[in-house]
Amino acid sequence: MAFYKYHKETVSNDAPDKIGVYYCGELDHLGNLIPHYIGRALGDEVTVKSRLLDHLRNDTHWKDATHFHYVLTNSAQETERLEAEEIKRCKPKYNKLGK
């Protein structure tokens, strides 16, 4: 599983222009990502890359997010299901409950 540095240059170069679920957080001492936020990109010009860049433009939160990861999906329905499951499983601190 690949983790990428969470900054504009890396997102621009390494995040895909595809739909999927993305995770922003920090690495633990074993190199695993601890997600602080889990989001979705549902397509129609809303891609993993565009959503990550949107979050970076609004730098008023997530100061502790140093890395990101993503999982590509095949449909908006799959993306919504995976995001909800992952938020429930990981309980990231910046996601709102009941979203």
Instruction: Give me the amino acid identity at 94.
Output: Y
Rg (CA), the chain: 12
Give the DSSP H or E segment for 41. Answer: strand 33-41
State the residue for tokens 């995770």: 23
pLDDT tens digits, one per residue of 37-95: 999 999 889 999 999 999 998 765 688 899 999 999 999 999 999 999 999 999 999 99
Identify the structural domains of the chain with CATH numbers, from first to last. Answer: 4-90 (3.40.1440.10)
Q: Is the pLDDT of residue 99 over 70?
A: no
